[in-house]
Structures are given as structure tokens and as C-alpha cells.
Amino acid sequence: MESYIPISKINDFIFCPYSLIYHSIYEGFTEKTYHDVPQTAGKISHAKIDKGEYSSAKKFLQGIDVYSEKYGLCGKIDIFDQENGILIERKNKIERIYDGYKYQLYAQYFSLNEMGYNVKKIVLHALTTNKRFNLPLPRGEELKKFESTIAAINDFNPLRDKVDINPQKCAHCIYYVLCAYAVSQ
């Protein structure tokens, strides 16, 4: 049986590959055990999407499961406006557009396209400021970087691969207290 990469894990991997390991340890616990304020706020802001209550308009697909056989990805989208072909990923707060944000949207884009939907535009939407960030569709160098990231996730072996630890990232990591790699720095 093929194993699929959860789309939500792409951003986690880019932040720190070890976070995938620590996240799997905590998955059996209540989220209150390991979620910090930003994660809780994000979960709350996603509640309407997860329940399909963002809008009653039929043109919006909300929180549906998507998959890409080509890239071995699966996950959920936030919103897809079928009439206008706009895929929208909502984030509680966007201070900077990280590669992880873009690659999650790319994964959703490719998944929807494989499933027969016509995605013409991809957008990040900041809930706190109600600001939208239009992103270019993945092409050229961006596409290569996305594909390289997916390959790196598939190939990652924590016993073999050395990860450059970034103390600034570690300071903001919800798994810091568990992480032998961060603590040893």
C-alpha cells in the first residue's frame, strides 16, 4: 500500500524535519498537551471550514479531502471557489509568506487539478488582517523546489540525515522540551 504525505506536514517538515517525529509522539494526546497559543488560535479559526460552515453558497468547496497520486499527497483544502477557480488557504496571521505556506497551497493545487478541478489562482488569506496574498502558480524554479521538498520528506531518515538546527526556530517550537537535538545545541 502506498503511503501518502499529509499536506499539513509539509510546512512542519520545512520548519524542522524532527517536528514530524515529535508530532507523531503527541498525536495520541489531547492537543492541549502540546498546542501553544498560535496553534490553538489557528484551530479555532479553522472550525467553520472543518464543519463546512464557511458559506452556504454551492460554489465553495470547504474542507474537502484531496489527494495527489503523482506526488503521493493527501489532505484537506480550506476553500475552493469553483466559479472563479480560486483556491484559498486561510491562516490566522501572516507576517511573512514562508515556503511551507506556499508548498501546502501547491500540494492542494496539484491535488485538486488531478481530481479534475480547474484551479486558476491560489491565495493565502490572513484572518487577523483580512488581507489576501495572491501567489503565482507553481512553475519553473518554484516547482523544482516544491518537488525537491516532497522528495526530501519521502527520503528523510533521522538516524542518517543531519539537520541544521536553528536556535531561533527552536525557541518557537512547541516540541522544544522533547527535542534532544535542540537541547544539545
For the chain, what are the domain ranges?
5-183
3-state secondary structure 51-115: CCCCCCCCCEEECCEEEECCCCEEEECCEEECCCCEEEEEECCCCCCCHHHHHHHHHHHHHHHHC
Q: How many angstroms separate the Cα of 179 from the Cα of each of 25, 31, 61, 165, 176?
A: 12, 18, 38, 11, 5
Question: Could you tell me which residues are beta bridge partners of residue 119?
Answer: none
8 Å CB contact between 134 and 123: yes
Q: Decide if 104 contacts 71 (C-beta within 8 A).
A: no
Within the chain, which residues score under 50 in pLDDT?
A: 1, 34-35, 39-42, 44
pLDDT at site 37: 55
pLDDT of residue 103: 98
At 155 the pLDDT is 93
SS3 49: helix
The Cα 44–Cα 84 span in angstroms is 27
pLDDT at 47: 56
Burial string for 118-127 (b: 16+ CB within 10 Å, else e) reads ebeebbbbee
Q: If you classify domain 5-183 with CATH, what class do you get?
A: alpha beta
Predicted local confidence at residue 49, as pLDDT? 54
